[in-house]
Structure 1
């Protein structure tokens, strides 16, 4: 199946599932799409038990999709640019201390805690995993996804500061999570005998500082180009070209594309819209990127559901996955609560927000993409992919469908 037909299939399935969800299920769009695509995949697996050849063309088509490349190199850039462009910069600025703290310190702390949890859990079950591999798993599950939870929080009427902390943290911790993952993977591939104490900090700085610097350059390229013209069609194309070209440059320069997109999106959403765009251009740019955001998310969550068809299953993996879910929630809470307790006198964040951020910190497609990006020769790839998939499904279906009730319980009916 060639690329055109694959994209067509994904868009058609996204539209069909979106219609069914809007018409019948009435769930948050991303959750409804993943649920329907998961049911569709399970149905195909059931049919395959009676007609074994039925599933072959479908699984072959799914396996030809490089999920990690699609998410990390394509979808993530569009989603982060669109998400940051639509984020209230002034609210972000007011909560910058807590957002930086949670996006950086909490991700690093959660990486260590989650890695330790997997190490001790697999040792308990008699199938220990190398601790460095466990830390890599920690980096995979530490980033959170704001997309599925944002609309729910709006309906739950939570305080704006809590909402902006969850969204702001999620925008930046995606980039930080990828940087930590890439840094750890570089160390593992280098080999324990060749690792120097400064290797990981150097890789981390190159990825993070380089990505942020590239983001400023991209944002100001948009600023100066749009300042010199007034034609909404051309201006929309320029924003699209800069995002696509910027992601390409990030890949070549070996810096963090996700962080670059977040920074470029923030500059576009605040400085460019405020100082350069006409009202007509602003309307078209916002509508265009809103549509891109919705479409890319739809494709992402449909892909996540369909990927079940190519996941390697073992009962031992399932046991570890189910056992680690409550431990990960504890890790998430501690990674937020510890830095919060140390620095709460400088933050405008309540303990209630920490609780909501714990339950509302959903894992999504980025975690699956990082797990799937591991080389087929990676010692425990199948196990890490399966465990990550179960964690993401629990996060989306259980946490995602109950976060509104949890928010109302924490804050009361406002």
Structure 2
């Protein structure tokens, strides 16, 4: 099966599921697609019981489709740029303290909490997993996914102040989580852990990504300002996203953070000077369409991961308990600063509750889990990650609006 045929299948499924969702289910877009794709995956898995289809061939193709590389090396850059470009910086700036607290300190603390609890959990089932892998699981599952958050919260009628906090956090902690994951994987490959080396790599990836995002964003602003031709200006944004994201990742600078910063600049920095009204309209509509199409492809692909997961009984128990571990860590990182330093975040109890429950996980966590070296440890982490993502998107995504409406 070639790449074009695979893409054709994904687009056809996306269109079919989107129609079924809009016509009958009327769920939020990403939830509807993920739910229907999960049902299709379950049908494929169970089909061996009632029909003769080449299930092993399907499983083998999905295993070798490099879903992790497609998400991390291609889709993520587009989706982060599009999400950031449509985000109002003025609104984010008003919540900068809780955003910074959760996106940086929250991810690091959550990684450690989850690692210790996950290590204890796997020991209970007599599974010997190196602690570094427990940290890796903590790093990949701690960030809230901006793709899931942006696709669900904006439709859930969450109070605007709370929405800005969760969206801003998800845009930045995504990059921080990827950086921590990359540094831990490098540590795993070298076999030695040095706090100073970890700190240096973290600063190189994170600070370097922010700086390069500012530089490339400003260069793009100058180029857009120098012409008034919306077709060319759309091509420029496309070139900067594709070329910049690939370049930054190649030189070990966080492409994710760079895309967030660059997207915020294009959508907010002197937009009236850099683009005419016509250009603004076309660029925003173009990237909104890109966002919708790629979101559809992403959530169908990650649901298909279900087909290749090795569901042993003890793995399932670990997956279910991992959901509660992740929820507990989320509560700790939100309520710890909220109760200890209330003036820092200035959140009400209701806002803290919504932010805790609104920390959705999504395709990024699964892509990172899929990128791990093959083996039993990867299978365990992949099952735990899938359960967390499934619970997050279906249960949390469908109930966040009801929680927001509570007094």
Q: Normalising by structure 2, what TM-score? A: 0.96
What is residue 82 of structure 2 aligned with on the other side? Answer: 82
Structure 1, unaligned stretches of length 5 or more? none
Whether 2:287 is the aligned partner of 1:285: answer no
Structure 2 contact 29–151 (Cα < 8 Å) conserved: no
What is residue 388 of structure 2 aligned with on the other side? Answer: 391
Structure 2 contact 107–177 (Cα < 8 Å) conserved: yes
Question: Within 2, Cα distance between the matches of 1:330 and 1:55?
Answer: 37
Q: State how many pairs are aligned.
A: 407
What is residue 188 of structure 2 aligned with on the other side? Answer: 188
Q: How many Å apart are 1:154 and its aligned residue? A: 4.2
Whether 2:397 is the aligned partner of 1:400: answer yes
**Partner of 2:27: helix, strand, or coil?**
coil
Question: Within 2, Cα distance between the matches of 1:45 and 1:29?
Answer: 24
What is residue 311 of structure 1 aligned with on the other side? Answer: 309
**Partner of 2:269: helix, strand, or coil?**
helix
What pairs with 1:163-182 in structure 2 (closer than 5 Å)? 163-182=163-182
**Worse overlay, 139-148 or 51-60:** 51-60
**Worse overlay, 379-388 or 17-26:** 379-388
What is residue 64 of structure 2 aligned with on the other side? Answer: 64
What is residue 355 of structure 1 aligned with on the other side? Answer: 353
Question: Within 2, Cα distance between the matches of 1:16 and 1:221?
Answer: 40
**CA deviation map 1:119-166 (0-9, x unaligned):** 111122332422221111100110112444446544543321111000
Structure 1 contact 82–289 (Cα < 8 Å) conserved: yes
Structure 2, unaligned stretches of length 5 or more? none
**1:255 is matched with which residue: 223, 237, 253?**
253
What is residue 99 of structure 1 aligned with on the other side? Answer: 99
Structure 1 contact 47–54 (Cα < 8 Å) conserved: no
In the superposition, relative to structure 1, how do residues 119 and 60 fare at CA in structure 2: closer, same or farther (>3 Å)?
closer
**CA deviation map 1:315-344 (0-9, x unaligned):** 111011112212221111101222333432
Question: Within 1, Cα distance between the matches of 2:220 and 2:270?
Answer: 8
Question: Within 2, Cα distance between the matches of 1:56 and 1:165?
Answer: 44
Question: Within 2, Cα distance between the matches of 1:200 and 1:296?
Answer: 33
**CA deviation map 1:244-282 (0-9, x unaligned):** 000111122111110000000011010152321100000
Q: How many Å apart are 1:16 and its aligned residue? A: 0.8
What is residue 336 of structure 1 aligned with on the other side? Answer: 334
**Worse overlay, 380-389 or 195-204:** 195-204
In the superposition, relative to structure 1, how do residues 376 and 152 fare at CA in structure 2: closer, same or farther (>3 Å)?
closer
Structure 2 contact 144–173 (Cα < 8 Å) conserved: yes
**Partner of 2:231: helix, strand, or coil?**
helix
Q: Normalising by structure 1, what TM-score? A: 0.95
Alignment RMSD, CA only?
1.6
**Partner of 1:127: helix, strand, or coil?**
coil
Structure 1 contact 337–354 (Cα < 8 Å) conserved: yes
What pairs with 1:104-253 in structure 2 (closer than 5 Å)? 104-150=104-150, 152-192=152-192, 195-253=193-251
Whether 2:397 is the aligned partner of 1:382: answer no
Structure 2 contact 213–258 (Cα < 8 Å) conserved: yes
